[in-house]
Amino acid sequence: MATHDLAMRARALVRIHDAVLSGSAPPERPRAVVARSWTRVLDLGIDPDGRNGRDPLPPADVDERRRRSRLGLVIDEIRELLLSAADASNYLVVVADADGIVLWRSGSPRVKRQADGLGFAEGAHWAEEAVGTNAIGTALAEGAPVQLFSAEHFENAQVPWYCTASPIHDPIDGSLLGIVDVSGPALTLHPAIEALVTASVRLAEARLWRHHEERLEQLRRTANGPLLVVDDHGWVAAHQGVAVRDRVEAPRPDRALAVPGLGLCLPERLRGGWLIRPSAAETVLQATLDLTATPATLEVRGAEAPWRVALSPRHAEVLAALAEAGRGGLTAGALSHRLYGDGEHQVTVRAEVSRMRKALGALLATNPYRIGDGVDLVVVSDRTR
């Protein structure tokens, strides 16, 4: 779009913005994504004329977030692609984490100075609840790529800008890592920017997956004897003497897990992953469910270190029902009858047990639902005291 056309569009958006915020009928409706965002930030009490919260984190806190972020593995690839474009002298490349905190900012010194005046700097909080409608915050809220131009921003101070942002996810587990954004003066918007940002995200996610495969290969080289080697997310790097799928339950320190073909296992930490092999035949986890405590607690011994977890009343009730059922266990329908008095809550039961298995691992088994093999569970209640 030519500069003249961009200027005309910017003026039209200002009229829409002013009309909506004043409560009068706009000459045309804002785009749906913009309307949703404006509704959210109005409900949050964001002031379009004010200097809303964006006080930057201390540099030490920003450095710590960078160290923890997997985006640090691909920041160079993101910068290389986006800053190699012909019009890169007119914009900034910004990468924020999943909280909307700006971790990295690169690009035109001139545009950086303009951004400094806006508080658009490293360490600043750029979510909608902090600064209103903007591509970073709105992409986080929508869970989708967003491009905003001129007065589609909520704050008047951001009206002279455009911003194009896209979420970036970890290909290993699908978790949101953050946002890749390109921002610059509104009248310098180039039609290729959106495609560039999309390409940079795809490149970064592909590189993260390659990095994951490289880590798996390193783990494979550690494998000896009948065992299973996985990374922190449960992806299998190597297996010997057992047939497994590509992924098992993610290991947790000192928590037993059940692996088909291996039985009850206690994971051992490796550099970059976990070694999983069967526990000794005599190994039994001694678990005590204390229903007299508030909240109910489960204490487990027999792993490398004992551990304790507080349970919700519903989860304590599920464990008690399974303990009473014995090794035969309960189907989802039977457990629904135990908990709710009918068989109409099987979906709820399955969801509850799924949540419990994430916390309790091998203590629970399925098909049917039962206390896991190698687990000796004792229930302490008012009746047993």
Nearest CA among 87, 98, 25 for reference residue 65: 98
At residue 40, the pLDDT reads 95
Confidence bin at 277 (pLDDT 50/70/90): confident
What is the mean pLDDT of the segment spanning 1-25?
A: 85
Is pLDDT above 70 for 235?
Answer: yes
For residues 105 and 291, which has the higher predicted lDDT (pLDDT)? 105
Which tens digit of pLDDT belongs to each residue from 339-373?
A: 888 888 889 888 888 888 777 766 788 888 888 87
Which tens digit of pLDDT belongs to each residue from 174-219?
A: 899 999 999 999 989 988 999 999 999 999 999 999 888 887 677 6
Torsions phi, psi for 112 (to 5 deg) = -60, -45
Delimit the domains of the chain by residue range: 3-212, 222-276, 285-380
For residues 164 and 260, which has the higher predicted lDDT (pLDDT)? 164
Confidence bin at 287 (pLDDT 50/70/90): confident
At residue 197, the pLDDT reads 96
| Planar angle of CA 136, 139, 140, nearest 5 degrees | 85
For residues 382 and 35, which has the higher predicted lDDT (pLDDT)? 35
As a whole number of angstroms, the longest Cα–Cα distance in the chain is 83
Is pLDDT above 90 for 225?
Answer: no
Confidence bin at 31 (pLDDT 50/70/90): very high
| Shared fold status for 3-212 and 285-380 | no
Q: What is the mean pLDDT of the chain?
A: 85
Which tens digit of pLDDT belongs to each residue from 124-181?
A: 999 999 999 999 999 999 999 999 999 999 999 999 999 999 999 998 888 999 999 9
Q: Which stretches does DSSP call E strand in the chain?
A: 92-97, 102-107, 146-149, 161-169, 176-185, 227-230, 236-240, 257-259, 263-265, 268-270, 273-276, 285-290, 297-301, 307-310, 364-365, 370-371, 375-380
At residue 353, the pLDDT reads 86
At residue 296, the pLDDT reads 87
Is pLDDT above 90 for 109?
Answer: yes
At residue 23, the pLDDT reads 84
Contact present, 182 and 134 (Cβ < 8 Å): no
Superfamily of chain region 3-212: GAF domain (3.30.450.40)
Options 3.40.50.720, 1.10.357.10, 1.10.287.1080, 1.10.10.10; CATH of 285-380: 1.10.10.10
Is pLDDT above 90 for 259?
Answer: no
